[in-house]
Structure 1
């Protein structure tokens, strides 16, 4: 028969460690240890795991493995949790039912199934509205389970704790203050569950309350008024401003559309376009600062929620000036022409300037070119006077092209200009001017009366009547002859004419003045010296004066037959009243009987013997000599000399020896000649003394060549000795001209009977170089 003993229970706290003794089972069962040791004992665990065991040696019940009450008894149908053990002892068999109660300890904290709870609450929910929250779970039982809940601090929410039928605790969230999503769209709360154990344990969960929006906010702009600047001439489509309106609501309640209000003018709406989606205002048409400097706009922002709300702002657009307008010049008055003697500071023109731009773009400066005799003087705002700054001279600059240039101060600067022509009126401030102060005019003799000699044109830089010149010959008499009888000048053009034919051999030069007078008021004049020089023409043929022949052209001479070689046989002297090269004479044999017997010097006309006469030479020799001048064409004269050789005791002398005349030549005529020659010699001496005195007061002349003395013997009463010639009136003047050109002084002295003259020529090398006029007057 089996006996069962039931042990009510043992209480074991779940925190006991492995190996801990729960109780002395042998003692509690009334068994001694020896009996237990000798008898076979078996322990069966009720369940699927063995947590307790009996020590067969001691009979102690001990913990084989640590126990977890919440694991062993997961259901909280009751607060008790038991482990049952069946122990069997054989011989005899005895069975014991052992119940071990595992008592709870607060080893678990409350926890929520969801760590975060989300709640959507409309911001229009009324105060006091209740919202259920998830409960916290605690595996512990009794007082170790959830006892209370706590809520983090909140102005809008509170907790209300409820107790269920099973004694469990749960909490509701109560709205204590109205929500405003725009102020706080999300509320983050912490819910804490607290158990009743000692010490207490807690568990937390986050509560995220998302406030649902309602359209309770109107759109609003960042500012009530906006002021922006936009450059004129900005490209079409360029951004002026992007307006930004915000709506504290969300969703469609915050979607905004932009539009102009009725207070925005149509003109402004045409100039600027408004994007309704993003609030961008862009240039629609070209902006001109000069048309309108300021635009005012009013923009409305409207949300798209039900019962839409709107907000507005004002926008002022200032147009910024660009330097896109050229400055302008306006000539208010311009005086032209003006007199060239206008005084300094005379106002010539009044000019105004302007520029439609503003600021520096509208500030302008007016200029005229440098180096002009004018300056600008500011008279008033943007008005300038152009005045004379330097003396004017029409003859230097007859007119001025004055360019007025106006430039603004923009960047880059713009400018404009206008040119005016200023003419100067002439005044009579210049005297007529001849190109030369002295005119030398050469007139070839034998000119035709009325021939144009020269054009003496003066120049007057003045104009009109101040430039019209009249020419006059200033009267001057020469030998009781007025210049106006010899010359004529055209009063209009200054052409000078000869009124007569001039003869160089009579008149060689004229000196007078010509005046040019303008027609101004008062008239101005100037004069010039004119020197007329008569130029010689080869209009006179040479005249042979030695050997002199009374009739015909044949001269007979006698020469001793015993004449030595080189002796002077004859000297041909020809005179030409022309001058310079026209009077230069050369001599040549035209015919000669024996060319080996005589030589002719081509320059002085001396005929000399080249050898002595021989018995074979003919007694009569015929020599034809031609005297030719140097003119073009050349003129000439010839003389034929018939030489006869005589057997006489006439001595031949050298060139420088005077040949004594035979006794029979001293006729009455010769006596008069001697007397005349003495008189001339006396006058010559007086003249030399006077010349020496005058020369002492003047620079010494160059040393002249020694005087030449010539001698020739003629059987006729024409004797040339010491260059003294007995001549008639036919050729004394020609001799005078020829001799004076050769640098000799010629003196003409009448013989006592007056039928003949003595013409004496003295070389000027003796010092009588200043007596040509007196000699001429003497002749």
Structure 2
């Protein structure tokens, strides 16, 4: 297709050249932008030159003032394009574009004028003055408003420069072309729809200019249309309602929230300020503050959920446009509860004191418990401390009853300090407490009780009438009249009997205890109404009753065992010889009275005994028997040979009273020995009695006769036989000798049997069990027991000296004939068993010690800790 174009162009040029030559001037036409080397025309031929002549005659172009874009080929003489031809550069908008060339031909010199017309091609697109055109249009501009635009230009000419305009599609703008003259069109921008800067702040359109060439070329220009803002938009919040939750513990200055309002306008039209209004409740005005520039809301006062839990207020945002526009939103501030309130406990009713016999379930107090917090923070748990004897029962929400859960005992606890504790369910939990003082009123529910069921009282005999024996005390834990105790003797069924039993009198018969003792009704002191005589009364048992002053009165009993302690007020009394007849009474010896020991004593008559000549040392001649109505040491007798003193033929056993020969008897001792024996007790001061023993010294035959007759006759008859003449005595010697041998043999066998029985008998049987008053003495001469009414040998042994020990096991009176009141009298066997164990009295022969509580009780000593139930008293 290009070749065809070139051929057509050449034909045109040839025709023009032919026309020019015909007119006397050569004319050529060449299109612009032809390539270098393109043959414009056959200049040599058109000038009429022969072939080769153009080179010979030097055919050339005359240089012009501007660079020529064509040249003459020296060989062919053709006019060629030497460089780029730009019509717009050569001629601009002039039409036609003809270049006048001078062709010089030398030899001969000849000048030819050649006109070269450069034809236009559409090689230039339309060009706008600027690639981008900025326009500013107010967003409130009226519809149909026109905005002229600067058109494009095209360097081409003719149809190639005829422009048409088009506008990119837009719903707001259209293009209208106006002719400024016959050749130019002026485009105008027409507003077809109202602008909204907030919707589309900038419109970008493309204006296209198209020339009339073939092919056509186009040029474009971007239209940037900025919509000028108008204050046509009110500020808008991003939320219509702001809901904020804030703990009531938030400190002052805490950021509550930040509201944000936007204004799509520009400049001052979009500058927003904030303000708060419409507070519900009105107190919220003082709680928060709003920053007018940033919209930040801060706390200005502390929150209190218990006062206000929700604050509602409005925030207004106003722009700075003219006129100013505003927008609104609501803020809902919810205050979250914090466990900042401890539970509160109130006592609405208190019923005190509480009787100690109040039944379980009795309501003592009514309480009200509350907590100003809410939810778990306000849920309260209550309990009582200590847990007993009271408890809590919920009556309805927030109300409790303090009730009795266990029986009360005022004597154990007279007053309770009760603490009602409450704890809420917060984290951490808060606690509160309320103390209650609950006194317990007394009820007479306790009988007086003695410290001991059995009181053991020791009193010396011969005490003064009115002496205080003991002080009894019964405890009643009740108070006031219920605990006020009065004491009295209870004589019902308690008496005394004869025969030396406890509470007996020599005359026999029952005597009430009130005849011996009296008790003070208020203090419980036990007084002696008369002097006591141990020989008359050793043990007195009675009961003391303690009665309170309650309604009804209650009582308690205690048994008092009064042991009378022996005084050495009886001197030893000599007993007649064993087996003596009534007529063998003692004969008074006035000289014995003169020889009595200093102090009060008793004097007995003369006793008779015999001994054989030549009797070896140690032979028992006689035995002095004596008894002392006292007991213990006071009744422990010792025998002393007062006359003759020195180395007499006889001696007396210190504790046995046996008179035996100290050496072998001889005729120098005479036919008769008179012995003065003093019997003395161990009392303080000691009392004594004297006995005169007349010992006749006989021959062996006479002694045998005397021994035989002593088994069937009295001492007086033996003494009479001793006065008989020697003849009569010799006649009866054989008879009495046989009798004496039999009697001695019998006595020896009996002694052996008794000694074996006492030797092998169990010792426990001797000392166990209650029995009559028994005195057990151990001394350097052996051990033996003594009673006022009978004696029993325990053991006879020789050994090293040891301290004396006396054990007193008291008897107890038999049960009285009258029935015991209220079944308080124990069984006799049980009473004997109990008292025999609990009332062991031990005496030492030498003063050792007495418990501190019995200081000053002379004569009552114990070598071991004093029993708690034994009281030490001395006579006044």
Shorter-normalised TM-score: what interval? 0.7 to 0.9
User: Residue 416 of structure 1: CA displacement?
Assistant: 3.3
Q: What is the aligned partner in structure 1 of residue 510 from structure 2?
A: 480
What residue in structure 2 maps to residue 508 of structure 1? 538
Is residue 136–residue 146 contact of structure 1 (8 Å, CA) maintained in 2?
no
Change (3 A) 1:55 1:704: same
Aligned to 1:688: none
> What secondary structure does 1:252 align onto?
helix
Alignment partner, residue 31 of structure 1: 49
- Rounded to whole Å, the distance in 2 between the matches of 1:421 and 1:352 is 17
Alignment of 1:532 onto 2:562? yes
Who is 1:562 aligned against?
Answer: 614
Alignment of 1:580 with 2:580, yes or no, is: no
- If each structure's helix is expressed as a fraction of its own residues, which one has the higher value? 2
Contact 2:487 2:544 in 1 (8 A): yes
Determine if the alignment matches structure 1 residue 495 to structure 2 residue 495. no
1:40 positional shift: 3.1
Q: 3-state SS of the aligned residue for 2:446?
A: coil
In the TM superposition, residue 509 of structure 1 has moved relative to its aligned partner by 0.6
Q: 2:191 matched to 1:191?
A: no
Alignment of 1:60 with 2:78, yes or no, is: yes
Structure with the higher fraction of residues in strand conformation? 1
Q: Residue 686 of structure 2 corresponds to which residue in structure 1? A: 635
Q: Distance in 2 between matches of 1:262 and 1:527?
A: 90
Q: In structure 1, what is the Cα distance between the partners aligned to 2:64 and 2:812? A: 193
> 1:517 matched to which residue of 2?
547
Structure 1 CA distance for aligned equivalents of residues 718 and 648 of structure 2: 37
Per the TM alignment, residue 353 of structure 1 is displaced from its structure 2 partner at its CA by 3.1
Q: How does 1:320-719 map to 2 (within 5 A)?
A: 320-475=336-491, 476-478=494-496, 479-540=509-570, 550-551=588-589, 552=592, 562-568=614-620, 575-585=627-637, 602-604=654-656, 629-631=681-683, 633=684, 635=686, 637=688, 648-649=699-700, 702=764
Contact 2:485/2:547, CA 8 A, preserved across alignment: yes
- Aligned residue number for residue 130 of structure 1: 146
Q: Distance in 2 between matches of 1:83 and 1:546?
A: 210
In structure 2, which of residues 181, 194, 208 is the aligned counterpart of residue 178 of structure 1? 194
Q: Cα–Cα, structure 1 residues 433 and 640, in superposed 2: closer, same or farther, change >3 Å?
A: closer
| Partner SS, residue 159 of structure 2 | helix
Alpha-carbon RMSD: 4.7
CA contact (8 A) 1:593 1:622 kept: no
Question: Does the CA-based 8 Å contact 1:80-1:101 persist in structure 2?
Answer: yes
Deviation at 1:48, TM superposition (A): 4.7
Distance 1:613 1:17, change over 3 A: farther
Are the counterparts in 2 of residues 546 and 571 from structure 1 also a CA contact under 8 Å? Answer: no
Residue pair 1:46, 1:83 contacting (<8 A) in 2 also: no
Q: Distance in 2 between matches of 1:773 and 1:669?
A: 45
Is residue 92 of structure 1 aligned with residue 108 of structure 2? yes
Paired residue secondary structure (2:221): strand
Distance in 2 between residues matched to 1:362 and 1:509, nearest whole Å:
77
Tell me which residue corresponds to 1:691: none
Distance 2:161 2:318 in 1: 56
Would you say the 8 A contact 2:572–2:689 is kept in 1?
no
Q: 1:367 to 1:665 in 2, by over 3 A?
A: closer
* 2-structure distance, mates of 1:323, 1:663: 117
Please tell me whether the aligned partners of residues 442 and 533 of structure 1 are also in contact (alpha carbons under 8 angstroms).
yes
The answer to whether the 8 A contact 2:126-2:163 is kept is no
Report the Cα distance in structure 2 between the residues aligned to 1:167 and 1:156, rounded to whole angstroms.
Answer: 29
Q: Could you say which residue in structure 2 is the equivalent of 1:723?
A: none
For residues 96-126 of structure 1, what are the alpha-carbon distances to aligned partners after superposition, in whole Å with 9 as ceiling and x for unaligned?
Answer: 4444444333334334343222111112222
Does residue 209 (structure 1) correspond to residue 209 (structure 2)? The answer is: no
Q: 1:497 to 1:166 in 2, by over 3 A?
A: same
Q: Does 1:284 align with 2:271?
A: no
Q: Indicate how the Cα distance of structure 1 residues 566 and 110 shifts in structure 2: closer, same or farther if over 3 A, else same.
A: farther
The answer to whether residue 327 in structure 2 is matched with residue 304 in structure 1 is no
CA offsets 1:508-536 (integer angstroms, 9 cap, x no match): 11122222222222222232222222222
Contact 1:264 1:298 in 2 (8 A): no
Distance 1:213 1:624, change over 3 A: farther
Shift of 1:495: 2.0
Which sections of structure 2, spanning at least 5 residues, go unmatched? Answer: 1-20, 497-508, 578-585, 596-605, 721-760, 768-772, 778-782, 796-808, 814-876
* Matching residue of 2:743: none
Give the structure 1 partner of residue 29 of structure 2: 10
Aligned residue in 2 for 1:112: 128
Distance 1:369 1:68 in 2: 118
Q: Is the 8 A contact 1:323 1:361 kept in 2?
A: yes
Is it true that 1:150 corresponds to 2:180 in the alignment?
A: no
1:123-178: CA deviations, max 9, x gaps? 22222222233333443433333612221111221222244548344422222222
| C-alpha distance in 2 between matches for 1:483 and 1:622 | 51
In the superposition, the TM-score normalised over structure 1's length comes to 0.76
CA distance in 1, matches of 2:370, 2:766: 90
Paired residues, what number?
694
SS at match of 2:368: strand
User: Does the residue aligned with 1:533 lie in a helix, a strand or coil?
Assistant: strand
Query: Matched residue of 1:481: which SS?
Result: coil
Q: What CA distance in whole angstroms lies between the structure 1 residues aligned with 2:28 and 2:642?
A: 205
Residue 577 of structure 1 deviates from its aligned partner by 3.5
Instruction: Kindly provide the CA deviation profile for residues 446-471 of structure 1, in whole angstroms up to 9, marking residues without a partner as x.
Output: 32222222222222222322222222
